[in-house]
């Protein structure tokens, strides 16, 4: 019995269970005794299942002839799951959609009667977090059919194969798979979240249909958020297991290692061994480049997550990384300034419209504009770093703003800031800006592989493109690039040195 599938409605009201019509009783028969043949068949089957499947798929019961089978389905590539629910009942989160590689398993709990497999079928229950009771009832019916076709033979392996390989096709489940969760009404095959009228009509349709709910089918979902959490957690755990068991080649050391010894960047899916990444990250963190913990692949912008960094570096370096990362985040907040005392540097929230900041740690009162001791209404003594910004602000201001700036900083300070324009022109003519941080670099001599003095980024002096930190010279060895064989282009010739070479 195939179902038009993929939507699930969870009901919090009692559902009246209807026993299947003309179903042969599969429970333990009164007075039945276990024959030697049945006992041997059961033991052989349970031992075979334990040898074929791991503990995460098959677990034998300790006190009875039974156990639990966990069936994890093989989903198609890019399988999407969409969960919909009642917004009022789910704190406003009424929809969720994501791509998953694995869904929580179907659980088959079973107990073998004394006269199995010669006469009786296993007693079982079927439960799942993402299948409705109607869908589970249909699977129970199909398991009964498989037993009837193979009565007298062991059946558990056949049941596992059916659930693992044919469940999606049997229930007509395709991507995207819609799961609708409501807090009222009965189970119904509805694509959209049903209104109250639709819920009542779906209950009537279900009662009249030939499909019945099986008492062995157990719906294992308690809430909207619980279902989402279970789906995402299981998918993440299973993907990690698959990654750990596969071999990968590190593009830094070119050694092949298992995924358990490697790290994968989530955005780009590039994989490197932990040994190489640990050394790379340690150098960057010691240099204070906490935003440079990116994928070593050239031109790749993927960045390692804090959790990945913590697994690769020691506690001391991670503490430094965490501190610098927090500081850089605070630097981007317009209303946060730092205590100007070198021994303090505590973040201070700036009062709206005010210019005074009071450090909560050392109680130092300072001007948030010039970072000097708070001077009230007196003009700020501007630092050299602020001159360029002041110049641009003054040149772009209207007359009212210009008078305000002159009153605040003084005309002589403004004139000095304007004179800085000449210095900027000189920099533009005699230097180039780092492609990463913008620091002006002047090339005096040496090859065309440059290192920024500000952020230590490697870059090409000819085309000003960033170079790989792993092998920066590969840029000049690539025939497809304009800088091929141009590593020493435009080097000044030292005649004395060349004359000495010619004499050798």
| Catalytic positions | 447
* Beta pairing class for 217-219 and 123-128: parallel
Question: Within 13 A of 77's CA, how many CA atoms are on the CB side?
Answer: 0
Q: What token pair was written down for 219? A: 């719906």
The span from the CA of 430 to the CA of 452, in Å, is 16
The span from the CA of 190 to the CA of 168, in Å, is 18
Looking up tokens 């590190």 gives: 250
> Looking at residue 460, what DSSP letter applies?
E
Q: Which residues neighbour 321 within 8 Å (Cβ) at sequence distance 6 or greater?
A: 285, 290, 293, 306, 309, 313
Other Cβ atoms closer than 10 A to 457:
19
How far, in Å, are 64, 280, 282, 291, 328 from residue 322 at the CA level? 53, 17, 13, 11, 10
- Residue 110 Ramachandran class (φ > 0 left, ψ -120 to 50 alpha, else beta): beta
The span from the CA of 187 to the CA of 167, in Å, is 19
Taking Cα atoms as reference points, which of 336, 309, 314 lies closest to residue 325? 309
- Could you give the maximum distance between any two Cα atoms of the chain, in Å? 111
The span from the CA of 348 to the CA of 367, in Å, is 12
What angle, 0 to 180 degrees and rounded to 10, lies between the N-to-C axes of helices 399-409 and 411-430?
100
The span from the CA of 68 to the CA of 126, in Å, is 10
Q: How far is CA 369 from the centre of its chain?
A: 40
Q: What token pair was written down for 502? A: 């010619």
| Contact (Cβ atoms closer than 8 angstroms) between residue 398 and residue 415 | no
């Amino acid at each position: 019995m195939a179902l038009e599938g993929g939507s699930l409605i969870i009901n919090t009201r009692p559902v009246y269970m209807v026993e299947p019509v003309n179903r042969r009783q599969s429970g333990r028969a009164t007075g039945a005794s276990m024959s030697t043949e049945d006992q041997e068949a059961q033991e052989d089957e349970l031992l075979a299942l334990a040898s074929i499947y791991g503990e995460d798929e098959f677990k034998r019961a300790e006190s009875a002839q039974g156990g639990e089978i966990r069936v994890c389905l093989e989903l198609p590539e890019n399988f999407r799951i969409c969960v919909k629910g009642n917004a009022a009942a789910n704190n406003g989160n009424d929809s969720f959609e994501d791509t998953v590689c694995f869904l929580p398993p179907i659980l088959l709990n079973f107990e073998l009667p004394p006269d199995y497999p010669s006469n009786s079928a296993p007693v079982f229950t079927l439960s799942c977090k993402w299948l409705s009771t109607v869908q589970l009832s249909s699977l129970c019916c199909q398991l009964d059919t498989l037993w009837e076709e193979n009565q007298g033979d062991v059946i558990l392996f056949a049941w596992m194969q059916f659930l693992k390989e044919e469940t999606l096709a049997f229930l007509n489940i395709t991507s995207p798979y819609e799961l609708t969760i409501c807090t009222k009404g009965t189970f119904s095959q509805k694509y959209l979240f049903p209104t109250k009228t639709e819920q009542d009509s779906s209950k009537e349709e279900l009662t009249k249909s030939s499909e019945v709910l099986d008492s062995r089918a157990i719906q294992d979902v308690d809430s909207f958020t619980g279902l989402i959490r279970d789906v995402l957690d299981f998918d993440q755990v299973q993907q990690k297991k698959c990654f750990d068991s596969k071999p990968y080649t590190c593009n830094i050391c070119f050694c092949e290692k298992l995924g358990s010894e490697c790290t994968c960047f989530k955005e780009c899916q590039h994989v490197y061994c932990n040994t190489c990444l640990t050394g790379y990250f340690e150098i960057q963190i010691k240099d204070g480049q906490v935003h440079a913990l990116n994928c070593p692949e050239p031109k790749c912008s993927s960045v390692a997550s804090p959790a990945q960094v913590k697994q690769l570096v020691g506690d001391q370096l991670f503490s430094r990384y965490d501190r610098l990362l927090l500081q850089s985040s605070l630097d981007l907040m317009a209303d946060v300034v730092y205590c100007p005392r070198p021994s303090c540097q505590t973040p201070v929230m700036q009062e709206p419209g005010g210019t005074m900041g009071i450090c909560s740690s050392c109680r130092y009162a300072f001007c948030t504009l010039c970072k000097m001791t708070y001077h009230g209404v007196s003009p700020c003594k501007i630092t050299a770093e602020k001159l360029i910004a002041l110049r641009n602000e003054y040149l772009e201001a209207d007359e009212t703003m210009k008078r305000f700036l002159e009153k605040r900083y003084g005309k002589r300070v403004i004139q000095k800031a304007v004179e800085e324009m000449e210095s900027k022109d000189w920099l533009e003519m005699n230097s180039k800006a780092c492609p990463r941080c913008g620091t002006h670099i002047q090339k005096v001599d040496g090859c065309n592989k440059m290192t920024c003095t500000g952020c230590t980024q490697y870059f090409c002096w000819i085309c000003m493109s960033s170079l790989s930190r792993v092998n920066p010279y590969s840029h000049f060895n690539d025939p497809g690039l304009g800088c091929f064989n141009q590593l020493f282009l435009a080097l000044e010739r030292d005649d004395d040195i060349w004359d000495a070479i010619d004499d050798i």
